[in-house]
Chains A and B, each alone.
Chain A
Amino acid sequence: MSAQVSAAPAASFGRKALDPRIELLSWILLVLAMVSVPLWGSVYAVYMACLIAINVIATVGLNITVGYAGLLSIGHSAFLGVGAYASALMWLHLGTPLAFNLVVGAVSAFAVGLVFGIPALRIKGVYLAIATLAAQYSLYFVFQQWTSVTGGDRGLSLPKIDVFGYGDTGFYYVVAFVALVATLAARNLFRTRIGRSFIAVREKDYAAQVLGINVVVTKLVAFGIGAAYAGVAGALLAAFLRIVNPDQFTLVSSVFFLAAVVVGGRGSILGSILGALFMTMMPDLLREVIAHFSSEGADLASLLSPVREIAFGLLIVLFLIFEPRGLVGFVDRALGRAENVEARQEH
């Protein structure tokens, strides 16, 4: 079954690096676009930009785990929940500043991630997927039932945050800055020993071990970093929506993040950005489509959530079958970098 025909020797270690000047230019363009959103955009545009930036952080994290390290995690939103609750509780009870809460969110999600990851990652195979599915269910259960701490189904309400007296715009810049730093950090991670060891483990764990890489520790770090990114995203989400409740962190939103990784492109930072962008816009797009096709007076909200589930699932399946490189594959083709597309080897 897994007897995979080895592809052409070229590009087995990934894609040819982009011309550094083009890459620098696209980062600058990205920063300019991010900075300028509040200048030309409406309140809604700023709101969406915030949400996209938060989802980019979470998607980059999941891509580190799934795309770069080849470990399937299907409970990503549970770790967002851990970060969100941890930071909200710090804020409500100790009044700590946002920057500190982000760190607390990251550390707590990292720690909880390891609790679920340690038993699973010692064994080869899909055990991490089972463990993260278990994390999804049991953490949801904790959020919902531990009423004295988490507020149960009603959740926690947070005060409005005011950054340098600029209100929502100020908060957007904070989110955008964190997203940019997180994305750049992830990009640079894969030029270091640790990041490259993730890829080596994904490609062939025995070979990695022979090269002196501690496979178990590498997998744990890769999974933990993914969870920590989710924790940061969760802490920002809590401050952004000013409410934390269990229904934000269900299986559906884990499917959402997995779809963002697959649609964008596994093992690609650009892919994570594209995937998060696409997936965040999707529900609104779907709402328009449903409103267009459904009859007058139909209950749009009750249609939207099942249609969303269908769309997320279909996107995962169709992209995996027809374009495993995700949207990045389209970008490569558009840039005429066909050799990357043709010589693709999947992980």
Chain B
Amino acid sequence: MNLFLEFSLIGLASGGIYVLAALSFVIVYKATNIFNFATGEMMMFGTYFFYLFDTQLGFGWVAGLGMGLVSAALLALAIERTMLRPLLGRPHIVLVMVTFGVGSILRGFAGLFWGPNVRQLPEILPRKPIFLGDILVPGKLAWGFVTVGVIAGLFMLYYRYSRAGTAIRATSIDQVTAESLGINIRAVFLLAWALAGLLTAASGIITASVNGVTPQLGLVALNVLAVVMLAGMTSVGGVVIAGLFVGWMETIVGAYLGAAWQSFIPYLVVLVVMFVKPSGLFGEQRVERI
């Protein structure tokens, strides 16, 4: 029983990293209606930015973190402005294909600049394990989870109570009305992408602080998509629950059935959601069956 609790805690903690990436996905989808298949690659690239400023250029982790996050946000802005803005009003499939292409470009540049080998990030999070009674949780995982919680909490406060967050929500509900009420839609798009850049970079850095970063880090995207689908694409709060659930299930399945089965969990989640409830657990009823 103790073992099960221990695995559960580890699973919940590792599910935390999905939450931030999934939030970035949801904010872009809500504000701009673009299905961002480059989420995983943006995560990976933001992590490399941090590695670049911290380790390669030697600014130290505080300055490196700030510069890495700013660069990730700028990259996201550049993607929106140069590649997606010219396609406004074009069919949806075209925009999705472009994000898929952007993912490939980012993977390629990461491989070109940093090579295929693992790069270790500096030790920011304390390594010392945490004991809850008899249960041991690895220190980095626990502190990573706390960090995720703080960031997600701040993000949700911003999203709910700031003027900009309100503008994003208004745009998501009805673009035309929002614009006619004086909301600058283009600024909202840019803001959503900048936030997405920040969130993906943060989730990438926390993920990579455990195992280091490779260009393959972006492949976690399928797990993030599973989380997003389970939550229902448009639900900011649902993403948190779904992320923790998927992380928990992966760890439990990996622990009891073997790591091989773990890889099928995201797909299984996607499949079940599509069969049973395509709008997800907390999504709006935007989904249409035919």
Q: Kindly list chain B residues whose C-beta atoms are within 8 Å of the C-beta of A255.
A: 100-101, 104
Closest to A311 in B: B108
Q: Is B93 an interface residue (CB 8 A)?
A: yes
Residues of chain A from 317 to 341 with CB closer than 8 A to chain B in the complex: 317, 320-321, 324
The reply to whether A5 and B35 form a contact with Cβ atoms under 8 Å apart is no
Q: Which of A19-27, A35-43, A271-279, A302-310 contacts B (4 or more CB under 8 A)?
A: A302-310
Please pick, from B86, B221, B278, the residue contacting A127 in the complex, using a CB distance under 8 A. Answer: B278
Please pick, from A306, A311, A321, the residue contacting B87 in the complex, using a CB distance under 8 A. Answer: A321
Closest to B279 in A: A123
Q: Is B97 an interface residue (CB 8 A)?
A: yes
Tally of chain A residues near chain B (CB < 8 A): 55
The reply to whether A72 and B97 form a contact with Cβ atoms under 8 Å apart is yes
Distance (Å) between the CB of A11 and the closest chain B CB? 16
Q: Which of A79-87, A130-138, A160-168, A224-232 contacts B (4 or more CB under 8 A)?
A: A130-138
Residues of chain B from 76 to 131 with CB closer than 8 A to chain A in the complex: 83, 86-94, 96-98, 100-112, 115-116
Distance (Å) between the CB of B43 and the closest chain A CB? 16
Q: Is A346 an interface residue (CB 8 A)?
A: yes
Distance (Å) between the CB of A106 and the closest chain B CB? 24
Question: Scoring B residues 10 to 44 as 1 if CB is less than 8 Å from chain A, else 0, what string do you get?
Answer: 00000000000000000000001101010000000
Q: Is B161 an interface residue (CB 8 A)?
A: no
Other 16 A-B pairs with CB < 8 A, given A1-B175, A126-B35: A74-B37, A119-B274, A126-B96, A130-B225, A130-B270, A133-B225, A141-B264, A306-B108, A307-B112, A310-B104, A313-B102, A316-B97, A317-B98, A321-B83, A324-B90, A324-B94
Q: Is B266 an interface residue (CB 8 A)?
A: yes
Residues of chain A from 207 to 242 with CB closer than 8 A to chain B in the complex: 209, 215-216
Please pick, from B101, B263, B289, B290, the residue contacting A209 in the complex, using a CB distance under 8 A. Answer: B290
Q: Is A2 an interface residue (CB 8 A)?
A: yes
Q: Is A129 an interface residue (CB 8 A)?
A: yes
Please pick, from A129, A216, A311, A324, the residue contacting B35 in the complex, using a CB distance under 8 A. Answer: A129
Q: Is A193 an interface residue (CB 8 A)?
A: no
Q: Determine the distance from Cα of A242 to Cα of B276 in the docked complex, in whole angstroms.
A: 42
- Interface residues in chain A, defined as those with a beta carbon under 8 Å from any beta carbon in chain B: 1-5, 66, 70, 72, 74, 119-120, 122-127, 129-131, 133-134, 137-138, 141, 145, 205, 209, 215-216, 252, 255, 258-259, 262, 302-303, 305-317, 320-321, 324, 346-347
The reply to whether A4 and B89 form a contact with Cβ atoms under 8 Å apart is yes
Q: Is B158 an interface residue (CB 8 A)?
A: no
Please pick, from B89, B97, B106, B271, the residue contacting A3 in the complex, using a CB distance under 8 A. Answer: B89
The reply to whether B91 and A346 form a contact with Cβ atoms under 8 Å apart is yes
The reply to whether B92 and A141 form a contact with Cβ atoms under 8 Å apart is no
Tally of chain B residues near chain A (CB < 8 A): 53
Q: Identify which of A124, A216, A311 gathers the most chain B CB atoms within 10 Å of its CB.
A: A124
Nearest 9 A/B pairs, CB to CB: A309-B108, A313-B104, A306-B111, A316-B101, A310-B108, A313-B105, A119-B274, A306-B112, A134-B267
Please pick, from B32, B219, B271, B274, the residue contacting A137 in the complex, using a CB distance under 8 A. Answer: B219
Residues of chain B from 226 to 269 with CB closer than 8 A to chain A in the complex: 229, 260, 263-264, 266-267
The reply to whether A138 and B92 form a contact with Cβ atoms under 8 Å apart is no
Q: Kindly list chain B residues whose C-beta atoms are within 8 Å of the C-beta of A126.
A: 35, 92-93, 96
The reply to whether A2 and B112 form a contact with Cβ atoms under 8 Å apart is no
Please pick, from A70, A120, A141, A216, the residue contacting B274 in the complex, using a CB distance under 8 A. Answer: A120
The reply to whether B101 and A314 form a contact with Cβ atoms under 8 Å apart is yes
Q: Determine the distance from Cα of A249 to Cα of B118 in the docked complex, in whole angstroms.
A: 23
Q: Kindly list chain B residues whose C-beta atoms are within 8 Å of the C-beta of A4.
A: 89-91
Q: Identify which of B32, B271, B275 gathers the most chain A CB atoms within 10 Å of its CB.
A: B271
Q: Determine the distance from Cα of A308 to Cα of B91 in the docked complex, in whole angstroms.
A: 27
Distance (Å) between the CB of B78 and the closest chain A CB? 13
Q: Determine the distance from Cα of A206 to Cα of B97 in the docked complex, in whole angstroms.
A: 24
The reply to whether A321 and B288 form a contact with Cβ atoms under 8 Å apart is no
Q: Is B287 an interface residue (CB 8 A)?
A: yes
21 contacting pairs across A/B (C-beta < 8 A): A4-B90, A66-B93, A124-B289, A129-B96, A130-B229, A131-B270, A133-B221, A134-B222, A134-B270, A138-B264, A145-B260, A255-B104, A305-B111, A307-B112, A309-B105, A309-B107, A310-B104, A310-B112, A316-B98, A320-B97, A320-B98
